[in-house]
Structure 1
Amino acid sequence: MSLILDLYPVRWALVLLLLAAATAFGLLIDSYVSLTSQAMLYVLVVEIVSYRLGRLEAAVCAVGAVAALNFFFVPPRWTFAVDQREHLIALVVMLFVAFMTSRLAAGLQREARAARLSEGRARQLQELAMRLSAAAAMHEVRTIGQAALQAAFGTGAILTFADEGNSVPEAAQGICLPLGEQGRVFGMAVIPAAAAQEQEGLEHGRTLAALLAQALWRLELDEAVLAARSEAQRHELLNTFLASISHDLRTPLATILGASSSLQTQRDRLSPELQSRMLGSIATEARYLTVLTENTLQLARLSDPVVELHRDWESVEEIVGAVLARVRPQDSGRRIRSVIPAGLPLLRVDPVLLGQLLINLLDNALKYAEGSIEIQALYGPGRIDLCVSDCGPGIPVALRESVFRPYSRSDRSGQRGAGLGLAVCRAIAMAHGGILVVEGREGGGCRFRLSLPVELQQPLEESS
């Protein structure tokens, strides 16, 4: 309805229609009412036009109403002459009342329009603040901000960011509002000059620009916090590595150097048995250094927040089989038993990393526990759990979380280790979107449970 009333010819046609309707109704009830009641009909028409249309239409309607009343109803009828002073005064008073009514109604309409506009702007600012609080990237802020500016000021509003190399088009005419302060300006918002002529509109544009600047500042601070946290983690890892290198690397290197030097300089004086033990020590310490180096490099790689995995569709049976084949030389007593049900869905994982995780868990079980060791696969809704269980002394509840921290290990076992294996295992699990926890086991011992997500969209089997 408001769109139709915005058309210029329609507005004047409505004025004429209302005056004609009042005149027709007045003629219809002429014999039943007085001149004063007929004048009230025209006053009602003037009020309607004043509230629904503009001030110009209301003024013209007031003059037309007085003229129609004089022509059709004031004696002598069908002329614009007035034969009595009372009637002339009534017409003048009616014209004055009509003008005052139209002015008051126009003011009321203007205030109502301003109130609706203020309410709409307040609602827009509230919705914009809520949407910007959930934005996680600059392009999201740009999309939200551009839509808000165009909703408030029309399609002529433009949002540009300095960091994206954008510039304001030469054809853009309007008022430029900076996004930020002098110390840090992220860009600018350009709103049409016509839309910002009123003070309230300009203030609304400045508030929109301030909200956008706050959202961009928040994103920049979040990135800085993440970068600082990542850098702090790298420094912490480096410091702990340097702190442990004095023992975890010096001892095996000293053993290798001493044994190799003895074999090189005094080989003729050493018995075959002693030479064999020295060569075994060299091989053992070299294997220990290899595992320590691989775990250290893998932990440093997985500490990178943007690490890329070489994922592929793999079956649990094949991964566990490859892991058991590599661990068998250390399992001379055949303590490891696998329970892998058939028909498990495929996992989209990095097979090398997942294999290293299981090998670390089985090595720990062989080193710290006695008795049988079981590796088991359990299929649940949306996940597969790989569990490595042993019958060892177990891990106290208070220490179950600390064992996953780098270079953190218990001294109760007397076994040598740098405390990197379980930290690497958890990092691998997190990189795959899974979790790794340690639990108590009935009858003693502990169970390391790795939960990996299963993708619903499984690959199609190749036809033979």
Structure 2
Amino acid sequence: MRDYLHQLKMIKLSPDIILFDLFKTILVFLIATSFALCVVEMNVISDNIFGVYMFGVAITSVITSGYIWGLLSSIGGVIAVNFFFTYPFFALNFSMSGYPITFALLLLMSVLVSALTTRVKKAAVLSAMRENRSENLTKMSNALLSANTLTKILEITVDFFSQSNQCSVIGYFGDPTEPEIKLLKAIQNNDELILNSPLELQVAKIAFTTNKISGVTLESEAHNCKGTYIPISVENRVYGVIGLLFENPDNVLMDVYKFSSIMVFQTILAIERQAIEEKAQQILLEKEKEKMRSNLLRAVSHDLRTPLTCIIGASSTLLENKDKITEETFDRLLHDIHHDAQWLIHMVENLLSITKISSEGAKVKKQDEVVEEIVAEAIARVHKRFPDASIYVSVPQEMLIVPMDATLIEQVLINLLENAIRHAQTVLPIALKVFQENKEIIFTITDYGKGIDPARISTIFEGDNGNASVDSNRGLGIGLSLCKTIILAHNGRIFAENQPCGGAVFTFALPMKGES
């Protein structure tokens, strides 16, 4: 409380406020005098008339700022009692026997009343201020709990610092000269220029380097700046700096620092919680990568063994029996070798795609792509491998733009289409449909064949072939596992289901950017 009272003493009053307080003091004095004259005239109160003026002193202390007006009201009340209500009336006479002592006691009582009233008033203001700050601190804590990025944490911190202290605020994450994130909230039009000036930036750098409050403070040496800079730090680690720019620098006192330190602590808790969540996410990502590698090894053992065995068997037959086999058999064996070689190339493409998105530190590079062009390219590549395949394509008439890695999404479409062609076991066409739903672009690949074993739907994208034979499920493991990895890397979702009328539907969705 002392800090706050000291702060209130140091607030510089404008001439308008001083004149208004003087007017209120005179008005209360005149009302008290008029009331006292009336009650004396009516013989309601003849003694202790000074109590009326003491009540006026209390009112003056409440409605004005500072001690001075209560003190002036006290002196005025003592003089008024002497002038209006002490014999000889309407004349000042301080030479009466014992009156100086009475005058001093009355003055002391009125001054004490003024002081107590002012103290109670300031205590009430302090209580209201602390209640407001406590409420803001609770709101800030709740807001920080929902923040999931460092930018959002700094934005919330800057907003609540500005609301709680009624000042302009600038926030830095990292070194202020080269910050990772920088946010500013200005109250006055000129505050943004001030906080971005080289001098203020230099003082912010000092706060970051020394891990001490710098700028306009009570105890530190002056830096000829206008802002106060508080480091966001815990122990010996400094995360950044918060800068406060008050309209009146005299308001920057210890009470502000104490409350600011609590708010800074809330920010630090949010930063550390965010770091823990990112670490947990990284661990989960590593776990998924390890799971994908295991699935990849299983898929490779299933998907590469059969075509290699077929190639070796066919080529050995041609080498060892080339004079004994017919031309028709010769052509069939060459066709089998060619087909299996193409399949191996397809597998290598999938393996390279997985390596691209699962290597340490690799990220999917997204660019805005036209969905119709990606679909057309994928269909063209599928038709090269399966010339007789029938594929019905449905895309919206409007142009849809989606951020993606075009090569990887083409690979997903190719894998899903080839999977439907190979495993549907039907002569009916495959349907590829693209449409927009909310803020996503939905791709569906539908076949009208035998569908998916219900027991495998939940694990079909995990690269697990179950108990099926290797040959009958060639490509199902690694292809679908790759599709899931690519879609998740694009922050999308993918799932499979059976149709009630027969057949399977594979669906994946990508977040959409921009408008159609």
TM-score using structure 2 length: 0.72
Matches of 2:151 and 2:233 in 1, distance apart? Answer: 17
* Correspondence 1:70 to 2:82: yes
Q: Deviations over 1:348-381 (max 9, x none)?
A: 2466555443432332223222232441537575
Matches of 2:293 and 2:70 in 1, distance apart? Answer: 82
* Correspondence 1:229 to 2:284: yes
Q: Deviations over 1:265-299 (max 9, x none)?
A: 87567654554344223212211212212223334
Which residue of structure 2 aligns with residue 49 of structure 1?
A: 60
Indicate conservation of the 8 Å contact 1:5/1:11, yes or no: no
Indicate conservation of the 8 Å contact 1:156/1:172, yes or no: no
Matches of 2:153 and 2:103 in 1, distance apart? Answer: 62
Indicate conservation of the 8 Å contact 2:231/2:241, yes or no: yes
Amino acid at match of 1:389: T
Larger RCO (CA under 8 A, 6+ residues apart): 2
After TM superposition, give the deviation of residue 212 of structure 1 in Å: 1.6
After TM superposition, give the deviation of residue 32 of structure 1 in Å: 2.0
Q: Write the mapping of 1:175-254 to structure 2, written as runs, cut at 5 A.
A: 178-182=231-235, 184-188=237-241, 197-198=253-254, 201-253=256-308
Q: Write the mapping of 1:269-284 to structure 2, written as runs, cut at 5 A.
A: 272-284=327-339
Amino acid at match of 1:403: I
After TM superposition, give the deviation of residue 48 of structure 1 in Å: 0.8
* Correspondence 1:442 to 2:442: no
What is the alpha-carbon root mean square deviation over aligned residues? 4.1
Alignment match of 1:168 (pick from 203, 216, 226): 203
Which residue of structure 1 aligns with residue 375 of structure 2?
A: 319
After TM superposition, give the deviation of residue 154 of structure 1 in Å: 6.6
Which residue of structure 1 aligns with residue 144 of structure 2?
A: 132
After TM superposition, give the deviation of residue 428 of structure 1 in Å: 4.8
Unaligned runs of 5+ in 1: 459-464
Q: Deviations over 1:328-367 (max 9, x none)?
A: 76364x6x362748x6433324665554434323322232
- Give the paired residue count: 451
After TM superposition, give the deviation of residue 191 of structure 1 in Å: 7.2
Indicate the larger mover: 372-381 or 282-291: 372-381
Indicate conservation of the 8 Å contact 2:310/2:337, yes or no: yes
Q: Deviations over 1:170-201 (max 9, x none)?
A: 68243776534336432355779976754x54
Distance of aligned partners of 1:329 and 1:300 in 2 relative to their CA distance in 1, 3 Å threshold: closer
Distance of aligned partners of 1:106 and 1:361 in 2 relative to their CA distance in 1, 3 Å threshold: same
After TM superposition, give the deviation of residue 19 of structure 1 in Å: 1.7
Alignment match of 1:399 (pick from 444, 453, 456): 456
Partner of 1:111, secondary structure, is: helix
Matches of 1:396 and 1:274 in 2, distance apart? Answer: 36
After TM superposition, give the deviation of residue 95 of structure 1 in Å: 3.3
Q: Write the mapping of 1:10-409 to structure 2, written as runs, cut at 5 A.
A: 10-27=20-37, 31-33=41-43, 34-36=45-47, 38-52=49-63, 53-81=65-93, 94-152=106-164, 160-162=172-174, 165=178, 168-169=203-204, 172-174=215-217, 178-182=231-235, 184-188=237-241, 197-198=253-254, 201-253=256-308, 255-256=310-311, 259-260=314-315, 267=322, 272-302=327-357, 306-315=363-372, 319=375, 323=379, 326-327=382-383, 330=386, 332=388, 336=390, 338=392, 340=394, 344-349=397-402, 353-371=408-426, 372-375=428-431, 377=433, 382=438, 386-405=443-462, 407-409=463-465
Matches of 1:268 and 1:239 in 2, distance apart? Answer: 45
Indicate the larger mover: 138-147 or 122-131: 138-147
Indicate the larger mover: 147-156 or 386-395: 147-156
Q: Deviations over 1:57-79 (max 9, x none)?
A: 22232121011121122221122
Indicate the larger mover: 412-421 or 155-164: 155-164
After TM superposition, give the deviation of residue 220 of structure 1 in Å: 2.3
Matches of 2:351 and 2:506 in 1, distance apart? Answer: 21
Matches of 1:320 and 1:74 in 2, distance apart? Answer: 108
Quick one: percent identity of the two aligned structures? 24
Matches of 2:381 and 2:142 in 1, distance apart? Answer: 56
Partner of 2:21, secondary structure, is: helix
Amino acid at match of 1:296: L
Distance of aligned partners of 1:153 and 1:370 in 2 relative to their CA distance in 1, 3 Å threshold: closer
Partner of 1:346, secondary structure, is: coil
Matches of 2:300 and 2:61 in 1, distance apart? Answer: 89
After TM superposition, give the deviation of residue 120 of structure 1 in Å: 2.0
Indicate conservation of the 8 Å contact 1:327/1:359, yes or no: no
Indicate the larger mover: 173-182 or 394-403: 173-182
Partner of 1:393, secondary structure, is: coil
Q: Deviations over 1:309-330 (max 9, x none)?
A: 34333449x9369617733763
Distance of aligned partners of 1:269 and 1:296 in 2 relative to their CA distance in 1, 3 Å threshold: same
Distance of aligned partners of 1:380 and 1:209 in 2 relative to their CA distance in 1, 3 Å threshold: closer
Indicate conservation of the 8 Å contact 1:345/1:454, yes or no: no
Matches of 2:503 and 2:250 in 1, distance apart? Answer: 77
Distance of aligned partners of 1:134 and 1:24 in 2 relative to their CA distance in 1, 3 Å threshold: same
Matches of 2:291 and 2:175 in 1, distance apart? Answer: 32
Matches of 1:452 and 1:222 in 2, distance apart? Answer: 24
Unaligned runs of 5+ in 2: 1-10, 180-201, 207-213, 221-228
Which residue of structure 2 aligns with residue 462 of structure 1?
A: none
Matches of 1:283 and 1:163 in 2, distance apart? Answer: 61
Matches of 1:392 and 1:232 in 2, distance apart? Answer: 35
Distance of aligned partners of 1:299 and 1:117 in 2 relative to their CA distance in 1, 3 Å threshold: same
Which residue of structure 2 aligns with residue 417 of structure 1?
A: 475
Matches of 1:384 and 1:227 in 2, distance apart? Answer: 27
TM-score using structure 1 length: 0.79
Which residue of structure 2 aligns with residue 461 of structure 1?
A: none
Indicate conservation of the 8 Å contact 2:400/2:515, yes or no: no
Matches of 1:151 and 1:260 in 2, distance apart? Answer: 80
